[in-house]
Amino acid sequence: MSARIIDGRAIAKELRALNSAKVEELKAAGVEPVLAILTPEGDPAAGAYARSLAKAGTKRGLAVNTVNLPADVNQERFAELLKDAEAGAHGVLVMRPLPAQLDEDLVDSLVDPTKDVDGVHPENAGLLALGRPRFVPATARAMLHLLKSTGVALVGRRAVVIGRSPIVGKPLFQLLLAEHLTVTVCHSRTVDLPGVAREADVLGVAIGRAHMVTPDYVKPGAVVLDAGFNWNDELESEQGDVHPDVERVAGWFTPVPGGVGPVTTQLLLENALRAAQINRQGYEL
Ligand code: NDP
């Protein structure tokens, strides 16, 4: 058996067209959408991602202001930079990894929850947990979007998510639960991880370890969604958390590159356009 590839690039193309239409709608209503991205200095991956978002946004008519976060930025200075960035934008994204001296929880709480395109503010995480989502982290949204694109029936099926980070694993759990799957969340302390994963009709993977999920983790015919984005210096390419051999067992899978990544970019931009809609009334930029 050979799995069907879920083509993230083709799906991202469809989303690009929808985003362009949303930009036109906003412009017709007199709103020029602006996203601010705070990027930690000296992190090549964060810098490259910020540049690719800026390029993708500006191409579609979403202005992107990038703000450099100095490596030695303290909490007070960070708060000032964030406030300034928010004053000139409808949406704001703080890229990770943060400089080590910053308190991540505090950073998440400082973001204006109505501009929080990454869905990291406790208010947005709470709304998602209550089943009233406002801003949902784009990677988790991308995984659900790709899953739905398969047309596979979801209600009542078993899902397993490997990873419990606030930015991928936990929001994916909430999204799958809202679609009426029965969801198990696994992590580094899970006993018999391959055995638990093999129960899944839908397997969502967000670990950060290249090719860790091998065919023995996968139920024949399952849909496998891979958020993994692990840079390999030798290959000069990224690798997923899922081993390519999984293709022999799964029914569907998202490739890396070309799966979750490009869809995440478009859904993040969509979150920014949504922030512009939310913030349009009474807003002078
Ligand atoms: P985190 O490091 O925040 O979380 C990793 C999770 O994996 C943790 O819950 C951890 O468990 C679990 N884990 C680690 N090792 C094991 C193991 N051996 N067995 C079982 N579980 C394990 O990572 P993120 O969620 O931020 O990112 C995960 C992956 O997704 C990365 O490759 C990242 O690059 C990628 N990513 C991709 C994005 C995209 O747009 N494509 C965006 C964001 C992330 P525990 O909680 O017990 O420590």
Cα(167) to ligand 1 centroid in Å equals 9
The reported pLDDT for the residue numbered 281 is: 56
Q: Is the CB of 253 under 6 A from ligand 1?
A: no
Cα(188) to ligand 1 centroid in Å equals 10
Cα(2) to ligand 1 centroid in Å equals 27
Report the SS3 class of residue 30. Answer: coil
The reported pLDDT for the residue numbered 20 is: 97
Sorted by where each starts, the structural domains of the chain and their CATH numbers stand as 28-115 (3.40.50.10860), 137-262 (3.40.50.720)
Report the SS3 class of residue 13. Answer: helix
For the sheet with 202-205, list strands across it: 4-5, 252-253, 223-226, 202-205, 158-162, 182-186
Q: Is the CB of 168 under 6 A from ligand 1?
A: yes
Cα(196) to ligand 1 centroid in Å equals 17
| Backbone φ and ψ of 255, nearest 5° | -75, 160
- Distance between CA 166 and CA 137 in Å, rounded? 9
The residue whose CA has the least distance to atom 8 of ligand 1 is 163
- Distance between CA 250 and CA 80 in Å, rounded? 48
The reported pLDDT for the residue numbered 232 is: 87
| Best residue among 52, 207, 226, 265 to mutate for probing ligand 1, ranked by most atoms within 8 Å of CB | 207
Cα(198) to ligand 1 centroid in Å equals 19
How many residues in total does the chain contain? 285
- Ligand 1 atom closest to the Cα of residue 169 is 25
- Distance between CA 135 and CA 132 in Å, rounded? 10
pTM: 0.96
The reported pLDDT for the residue numbered 1 is: 66
One digit per residue, the tens of pLDDT, for the chain of length 285 reads: 689 999 999 999 999 999 999 999 999 999 999 999 999 998 888 888 899 999 999 999 999 999 999 999 999 999 999 999 999 999 999 999 999 999 999 999 999 999 999 999 999 999 999 999 999 999 999 999 999 999 999 999 999 999 999 999 999 999 999 999 999 999 999 999 999 999 999 999 999 999 999 999 999 999 999 999 998 888 888 999 999 999 999 999 999 999 999 999 999 999 999 999 998 754 444
DSSP 159: E
